Structure 1
Amino acid sequence: MGTVTLGVSIAVPEPYGSLLQERRAGFGDPAAHGIPTHVTLLPPTSVEEARLPAVRAHLAEVAAACRAFPMRLSGTGTFRPLSPVVFVQVVEGAAACSWLQKRVRDASGPLERELLFPYHPHVTVAHGIAEEAMDVAYEELADFEASWTVGSFALYEQGADGVWRKLSEYEFGAGRPAPSVPAQGSPVDEPATSRG
């Protein structure tokens, strides 16, 4: 069957998601329109396609054990010089994101993996572009603010075209409805295959 590249993330809702995606494109980041605006819980991870049912079951269990929590973004930060990234900071909800990502990557589940860097929840707005353009992103979004209630996370697959497409959404709580987060208006939300 082969492997698939998966990621797990919390979507940044509208109108903030599209706004940050457009700003990212405007800074010259060629990956902007292939990546929905998000807070990563599991970075790109190669998984045997046959393990997808186990991945879905695991993520459903993780989501069922979580409750909705407030998320607030404010201002910018950077990982430079270690990594060429400018991001919007998560100033509320970081502890809940850290708790979630640990459970997503738990050694007892199908998505166990080590991270290259210590986990730091954030929303990337520029990656791997010219230093001057990253400086612009850092300065122009310094006053950015957004807040919402997080009630779910999603599983994404990266296609051969480099675009990330949502496969499934996992609402928090055992059977309790999650607060609705409007989907980001983009083709990246279309299922990659009939697996979705």
Structure 2
Amino acid sequence: MGTVMLGVSIAVPEPYGSLLQERRAGFGDAAAHGIPTHVTLLPPTEADESVLAEVEAHLARVAAAGRPFSMRLSGTGTFRPLSPVVFVNVVEGGEACARLQQQVRDEPGPLARELQWPYHPHVTVAHGIAEDAMDRAYEELADYEAAWTCSSFALYEQGADGVWRKLREYAFAGGPPGVPPQSTPLGEPAPTHH
């Protein structure tokens, strides 16, 4: 068995996803059409094909423990000069994304790994392109706004052609959006509110 390149992310839904993908392509980012618009939970990670079933079971457990949450994008940011990236900011839902990505990478799970940079939820709109095009992306999307309820995340595999394809979607178990998950340790009674 060979290895596969996997990623886990939250898709930016329509109509926002296509619009941002078109804008990214318009800035001259050749990779735009191979990368669905997303918020990364697990960056590209090489894994043995033999662990795919284990990965899927792990992600199903993470989703089962999750609840839908509000996501809101607003304005732009950049990782320059450390990394040639311009992005749209996640201004609501970032904490939930941070919790999720930690659960996805938790030991002893099949996707346990260190990150190159501290986790920062964002939606890339330009990567590795000319500086003036990066500046244009930063300026032209400065007023960008989008909001939705995130109710799932997905596992993607990168093909030999460089295109990321969705393998499976994982819906959160439920509960009303915006309700924080209960963090009561096992065996302890939940706090009661009067």
Kindly state the Cα deviation for residue 83 of structure 1 after the two structures are TM-superposed.
Answer: 0.2
Q: State how many pairs are aligned.
A: 177
Aligned to 1:137: 137
Residue pair 1:79, 1:86 contacting (<8 A) in 2 also: yes
Distance 1:106 1:78, change over 3 A: same
Letter of the 1:126 counterpart: A
| Aligned-partner Cα distance in 2 for 1:65–1:101 | 13
The alignment's TM-score, normalised by the length of structure 1, stands at 0.89
Aligned to 1:50: 50
Residue pair 2:68, 2:175 contacting (<8 A) in 1 also: no
Q: Secondary structure at the match of 1:72?
A: strand
Structure 1, unmatched stretches of 5+, are: 180-196
Q: Secondary structure at the match of 1:80?
A: coil
1:89 aligned onto 2:97: no
| Aligned-partner Cα distance in 2 for 1:121–1:178 | 23
Letter of the 1:87 counterpart: F
Residue pair 2:75, 2:141 contacting (<8 A) in 1 also: yes
Q: How does 1:160-171 map to 2 (within 5 A)?
A: 160-171=160-171
| Aligned-partner Cα distance in 2 for 1:45–1:178 | 32
Kindly state the Cα deviation for residue 108 of structure 1 after the two structures are TM-superposed.
Answer: 1.6
Aligned to 2:118: 118
1:17 aligned onto 2:17: yes
Kindly state the Cα deviation for residue 126 of structure 1 after the two structures are TM-superposed.
Answer: 0.1
Aligned to 1:104: 104
Residue pair 1:71, 1:90 contacting (<8 A) in 2 also: yes
| Aligned-partner Cα distance in 2 for 1:17–1:94 | 18
Kindly state the Cα deviation for residue 101 of structure 1 after the two structures are TM-superposed.
Answer: 0.2
Q: How does 1:50-89 map to 2 (within 5 A)?
A: 50-89=50-89
Distance 1:69 1:107, change over 3 A: same
1:154 aligned onto 2:154: yes
Kindly state the Cα deviation for residue 177 of structure 1 after the two structures are TM-superposed.
Answer: 9.1
Distance 1:178 1:43, change over 3 A: farther
Q: Percent identity?
A: 79
Residue pair 2:88, 2:123 contacting (<8 A) in 1 also: yes
Q: CA RMSD in A?
A: 1.2
Residue pair 1:172, 1:178 contacting (<8 A) in 2 also: no
Letter of the 1:127 counterpart: H
Larger Rg: 2
Distance 1:147 1:100, change over 3 A: same
Residue pair 1:9, 1:42 contacting (<8 A) in 2 also: yes
Structure 2, unmatched stretches of 5+, are: 178-194
Residue-by-residue CA offset, 1:77-126 (whole Å, 9 max, x unaligned): 00000000000000000000000000000012000010000000000000
Q: Which runs of 4+ in 1 moved over 4 A?
A: 176-179
Letter of the 2:32 counterpart: A
Residue-by-residue CA offset, 1:156-194 (whole Å, 9 max, x unaligned): 000000000000000001xx4999xxxxxxxxxxxxxxx
The alignment's TM-score, normalised by the length of structure 2, stands at 0.90
Q: Secondary structure at the match of 2:148?
A: strand
Letter of the 2:110 counterpart: P
